[in-house]
Structure 1
Amino acid sequence: MTSPACIVVINWNGADDTIGCLRSLEPVRSSGCMVLVVDNGSDDGSAGRIRMACPETEVLALPLNLGYGGGCNAGCRRAEELGAKAVIFLNNDTLVDPLFAVSLLLVLSRDPTAGMVVPKILYADRPCRIWYAGGEVDLSRGMVRHTGIRRKDGPRYSQSSHTGYATGCCFAMRTRDFRAVGGFDEGFGMYAEDVDLSLRVRELGFSIDYEPSSVVWHRVSASYRGRPLKKIWLRSMGIMRLLRKHGSWTGMMLFMLLEPFRLVRGAASLAAVRVMGVLHAEARSNEEGAA
């Protein structure tokens, strides 16, 4: 895409993650993309630390935490002021392939019907495992989920395609389209605002495009380390708001009926992950001791 593009990274009390993300963006910046950090009302000195560590990066320091959607909206406004015609929203707890931005922006440049473009996203601690390879949404069933999550990466997840929704972890849009659709609905909390935005983009006649040649690695749930049940709860509340907003009453009833079971299953999965993590750490410690 020949017009300027801006990568917007949202930070809230996460300077270490953000600085790591910015380091991975250095090759991308050299290819012509601007980088903007939106500090979302941090109270731990994050903005100053980021400015000191990455003086070449502009930091937009907001006085209050506007939430993810509000931070992104503010970031896009500033990106347009800087002359950006396209914006890539990127979580601060990510690392990127040097060509990730080029691949996303090329789709927007070649296809005027593409409204949002989203990369393949892998787990940072399990880089052969998929975190996002497309999104499935069925409001009539109250179902929102990532395609391929926790599956081993392979040819099945390496085909460009249209998909149901783009994850807020990383996606690209033209700034004019983002403005036309009204940006993020700031009434959402931490979850489902990306699905809502995707549905509104689709209502304008645009597609959501999955582009696996663009690759990002995600350190999942950095914002809620140590509080995974809060993440599950907030996600449930976000989906409830999504279903109310888009008028899917059957989906809401099914979601309310099935969500308690999903919550129990999610808690069990988290417990299993913790146990495996402990066993892995112990095994590695034993190997190092034997060496």
Structure 2
Amino acid sequence: MENNNKPIPSVYFVILNYNNPNDTIACIESVEKINYMNFKVIIVDNFSKDNSETVLKQRFPHHIFIQTGANLGYAGGNNVGLKLAKAENADYICILNNDVITNPDFLQKLMDYMVTHPNVGVVGPRVCEFNEPEIVQSTGAMIDFNTGRVKVLNNRVHEDKVSGEIISCDYVGGACMLFHTKILDEVGYIPEDYFLFYEETEWCLNIKKKGYEVICNCNAKVIHKGSASINQVSGLSEYFMYRNVVLFMKRNANLKQLFIFYPYLFIYAVYRGVIKKDGLKFAKYFYHGLTGKNKFKEKLQIK
């Protein structure tokens, strides 16, 4: 497609579904209303056990549908879509969580920024709360490599306070990330060791290590419902959040940072074990992070 004799870069959306067709439908319907003129949608179903495949194929026969055939987690499922988008020579790719609703102009604003800032490896919009659309959920985040803690930027502030800002950060949330396809050649795909949480953190960190910037462009906006698929399994979110912070630090912190982090981790585990009735479970989470064990592997039929 062309506009004023200039080709419009193609953007492929990758939208991952797992047992949640209703949110996926709402997400795609919002994408279909955007004012960008050259995009395609790839729907990746992560081996849902409900009627997702039938529903989504019938509702969106004009979009690309992929069945993974196994529960590959966030990274693995999205990587299936990324590989297809790359094979089809997409100029840019936008990973979009299926519980996100987009503003009509969000992609155009992100693309306007990306094409004029080739030093940016990945960009995200301001992400606002679904039930409070004027309240910011995130404008990216920073990582404390001494404790593994993450500071979400501008959480719970009114969007007027950040509108128009360009924020450099360590990573933008996996709910919405736009990047040039060449990043996959230079950095590789999203790491699949985590299954859930911290995979986009490490991926953005790897992009920064290649000399690119990671940016939140607050001119663009989406709203995010948050974790509808995750909450279907009791304890899933807590387990992977605590397990994966250890895995992330083990993979990415330097020796000096680990000398601070491991004692901090031990003290935290003892503290939770003392003050909480079931606090010893945190020690188990941390042990699984150190060893790479995944207690949900069989339950979720994770490949």
Match of 1:56 among 36, 51, 62: 62
Which consecutive unaligned segments of at least 5 residues does structure 2 have?
Answer: 1-6, 277-303
Q: Find the counterpart in structure 2 of residue 16 from structure 1.
A: 22
Deviation per CA, 1:138-170, whole angstroms, max 9, x where unpaired? 212322131122233222454112112111111
Structure 1 residues 141 and 225, CA, compared in 2 at 3 Å: closer, same or farther?
closer
Contact 2:41 2:63 in 1 (8 A): yes
Match of 1:65 among 42, 67, 71: 71
Q: Find the counterpart in structure 1 of residue 261 from structure 2.
A: 251
Match of 1:207 among 189, 202, 213: 213
Cα offset, 1:58, TM superposition: 1.0
- Residues 1-291 of structure 1: pairs in structure 2 closer than 5 A: 2-28=8-34, 31-156=37-162, 158-225=164-231, 229-247=235-253, 248-249=257-258, 250-258=260-268
The TM-score, its normalising length taken from structure 2, stands at: 0.81
Cα offset, 1:114, TM superposition: 0.1
Query: 218-227 or 203-212: which moved more?
Result: 218-227
CA distance in 1, matches of 2:106, 2:234: 29
Higher helix fraction (1 or 2): 1
Query: 134-143 or 169-178: which moved more?
Result: 134-143
CA distance in 2, matches of 1:260, 1:119: 39
Deviation per CA, 1:112-153, whole angstroms, max 9, x where unpaired? 110010110011011122111121112123221311222332
Deviation per CA, 1:235-256, whole angstroms, max 9, x where unpaired? 1111111000013412343245
The share of aligned pairs that are identical, in percent, is 23
Structure 1 residues 141 and 80, CA, compared in 2 at 3 Å: closer, same or farther?
same
Deviation per CA, 1:165-223, whole angstroms, max 9, x where unpaired? 11111111111112321111111121000110011000000000110111111011112
Q: Describe the SS at the equivalent of 1:196.
A: helix
Structure 1 residues 102 and 260, CA, compared in 2 at 3 Å: closer, same or farther?
farther
Contact 1:38 1:62 in 2 (8 A): yes
Contact 1:142 1:255 in 2 (8 A): no
Matched residue type, 1:254: Y
Please report the RMSD computed on the Cα atoms of aligned residues, expressed in angstroms: 2.4
Structure 1 residues 227 and 152, CA, compared in 2 at 3 Å: closer, same or farther?
farther
Contact 2:35 2:105 in 1 (8 A): no
Matched residue type, 1:138: D
Which consecutive unaligned segments of at least 5 residues does structure 1 have?
Answer: 266-291
CA distance in 1, matches of 2:94, 2:80: 13
Structure 1 residues 177 and 141, CA, compared in 2 at 3 Å: closer, same or farther?
same
Cα offset, 1:88, TM superposition: 0.3
Q: Describe the SS at the equivalent of 2:248.
A: helix
CA distance in 2, matches of 1:28, 1:256: 48
Structure 1 residues 159 and 97, CA, compared in 2 at 3 Å: closer, same or farther?
same
Q: How many residue pairs get matched?
A: 266
Q: Describe the SS at the equivalent of 1:119.
A: strand
CA distance in 1, matches of 2:271, 2:25: 38
Contact 2:35 2:108 in 1 (8 A): no
Matched residue type, 1:24: S
Structure 1 residues 226 and 56, CA, compared in 2 at 3 Å: closer, same or farther?
closer
CA distance in 1, matches of 2:128, 2:270: 28
Contact 1:243 1:252 in 2 (8 A): no
